[in-house]
Amino acid sequence: MTELLAALGPGFLEDLGSFVADNAGELAAGVRRTLTVSAIAIAGASIIGLTLGAARAYRIPVVSQLAAAYVEVIRNTPILVQIFMLYYALPQVGIRLEAFTVAWLAVTIWGGAFNTENFRAGFEAVPARYREASAALGFRGFATFANVTLPIGGRIALPSSINTYISVVKNTSLMYVISYPEITTTVFQIQALTLETVEAFTVLALTYLIIVWSLSALIRLLESHLALPEDR
Amino acid sequence: MLPDWVEPVARYVVEVGLRNTLKLSAIALAGSALIGITLGTLLTIRFLPTRALIRLYIEIWRGLPILVTIFIVFFALPAVSSALRFDPITAGAIALILWGSAQVAETTRGAVQSIPREQHEAASALGFGWVGRHVFVIMPQALRRLLPPLVGLLVNIIQNTTIVQVIGAPEILETAERQVERLTFEGQEHAVEIYGAVMVTFFLISFPLTRLAAYLEKRLA
Q: Which of A92, A202, A212 is opposite residue B63, by nearest beta carbon?
A: A212
The letter for the amino acid at A74 is I
Residues A87 and A178 sit within 8 Å (Cβ to Cβ): yes
Q: Which of A84, A88, A208 is opposite residue B65, by nearest beta carbon?
A: A208
Cα separation of A205 and B52, whole Å? 20
Cα separation of A27 and A199, whole Å? 13
Mutate to test the interface with A, among B18, B66, B162, B201 (most CBs of A within 10 A): B162
In Å, what is the CA distance from B160 to each residue of A181, B10, B23, B163? 22, 21, 13, 6
- The DSSP annotation for B7-24 comes to HHHHHHIIIIIIHHHHHH
Contacts of B60 in chain A (CB under 8 A): 205, 209
Compute the average pLDDT of residues B160-172. Answer: 96
Cα separation of B68 and B134, whole Å? 35
Residues A110 and A168 sit within 8 Å (Cβ to Cβ): yes
Q: What is the pLDDT of residue B27?
A: 97
Q: What is the pLDDT of residue A6?
A: 61
Q: What is the pLDDT of residue A223?
A: 79
Q: What is the pLDDT of residue A7?
A: 59
A2 has a pLDDT exceeding 60 = no
The length of chain B in residues reads 221
Indicate the pLDDT class of residue B218, thresholds 50, 70 and 90: confident
Shortest CA gap B125–chain A (Å)? 37
Shortest CA gap A74–chain B (Å)? 9
What count of Cα atoms within 13 Å lies in the side-chain half-sphere of residue A43?
A: 6
Contacts of A68 in chain B (CB under 8 A): none
Q: What is the pLDDT of residue B16?
A: 94
Indicate the pLDDT class of residue A194, thresholds 50, 70 and 90: very high
Compute the average pLDDT of residues B125-154. Answer: 90
Cα separation of B150 and B145, whole Å? 9
Contacts of A213 in chain B (CB under 8 A): 59, 63
**Number of Cβ pairs < 8 A linking chain A and chain B:** 121
| Binding-site residues on chain A for chain B (CB distance < 8 A) | 1, 3-4, 7-8, 72-73, 75-82, 84-85, 88-93, 170-171, 173-174, 176-177, 184, 188, 191, 197-198, 200-202, 204-205, 208-209, 212-213
For residue B8, the Cα-to-chain-centroid distance in whole angstroms is 30
Q: What is the mean pLDDT of chain B?
A: 93
Q: What is the pLDDT of residue A60?
A: 93
Indicate the pLDDT class of residue B221, thresholds 50, 70 and 90: low
Cα separation of A98 and B56, whole Å? 38
pLDDT tens, residue by residue, A29-70? 999 999 999 999 999 999 999 999 999 999 999 999 999 999
| DSSP single-letter state for residue A98 | -
Q: What is the pLDDT of residue A177?
A: 97
Cα separation of B134 and B185, whole Å? 58
B199 has a pLDDT exceeding 60 = yes
Q: Which of A76, A81, A184 is opposite residue B173, by nearest beta carbon?
A: A81
Residue A140: partners with Cβ closer than 8 Å, 6 or more residues away: none
Indicate the pLDDT class of residue A191, thresholds 50, 70 and 90: very high
| B75 touching A (Cβ < 8 Å) | yes
Shortest CA gap A8–chain B (Å)? 8
Q: What is the pLDDT of residue A232?
A: 55
Subunit contact A177:B165, Cβ cutoff 8 A: yes
Residues A140 and A78 sit within 8 Å (Cβ to Cβ): no
In percent, the amount of chain B with pLDDT more than 90 equals: 74
Subunit contact A77:B64, Cβ cutoff 8 A: no
Rg (CA), chain A: 22
pTM: 0.92
- Residue with the bigger pLDDT between A9 and B27: it is B27
Q: What is the pLDDT of residue B102?
A: 97
Subunit contact A4:B80, Cβ cutoff 8 A: yes
Indicate the pLDDT class of residue A224, thresholds 50, 70 and 90: confident
B133 has a pLDDT exceeding 60 = yes
| B103 touching A (Cβ < 8 Å) | no
Query: From the CB of residue A139, how many other CB atoms can be counted at a distance below 10 Å?
Result: 16
Cα separation of B205 and A181, whole Å? 33
Contacts of B173 in chain A (CB under 8 A): 78, 80-81, 84
Residues A120 and A55 sit within 8 Å (Cβ to Cβ): no
Q: What is the pLDDT of residue A226?
A: 78
- The DSSP annotation for chain B comes to ---TTHHHHHHHIIIIIIHHHHHHHHHHHHHHHHHHHHHHHHTTS--HHHHHHHHHHHHHHHHS-HHHHHHIIIIIHHHH-GGG---HHHHHHHHHHHHHHHHHHHHHHHHHHTS-HHHHHHHHHTT--HHHIIIIIIHHHHHHHHHHHHHHHHHHHHHHGGGGGGGT--SHHHHHHHHHHHHHHTT---HHHHHHHHHHHHHHHHHHHHHHHHHHHHHH-
Which range is least confidently modeled, A225-229, B13-17, B193-197?
A225-229
Cα separation of A47 and A66, whole Å? 16
Contacts of B67 in chain A (CB under 8 A): 173-174, 176, 184
Name which of A177, A34, A167 is nearest A104 in CA terms.
A34
Q: Which of B68, B81, B189 is opposite residue A204, by nearest beta carbon?
A: B68
| B131 touching A (Cβ < 8 Å) | no
Contacts of A202 in chain B (CB under 8 A): 76
Compute the average pLDDT of residues A143-159. Answer: 90
Cα separation of B163 and B66, whole Å? 8
Mutate to test the interface with A, among B25, B57, B68, B194 (most CBs of A within 10 A): B68
B144 has a pLDDT exceeding 90 = no
Name which of A164, A163, A158, A171 is nearest A208 in CA terms.
A171
A231 has a pLDDT exceeding 70 = no
Subunit contact B203:A89, Cβ cutoff 8 A: no
Helix residue ranges per DSSP H, chain A: 2-7, 11-22, 24-57, 63-75, 79-84, 99-124, 128-136, 141-144, 150-171, 183-194, 197-226
Region of A86 on the Ramachandran plot (φ > 0 left; ψ -120 to 50 alpha; else beta): alpha
Q: Which of A76, A176, A208 is opposite residue B207, by nearest beta carbon?
A: A76
Residue B137: partners with Cβ closer than 8 Å, 6 or more residues away: B119, B120, B122, B123, B128
Compute the average pLDDT of residues B154-165. Answer: 96
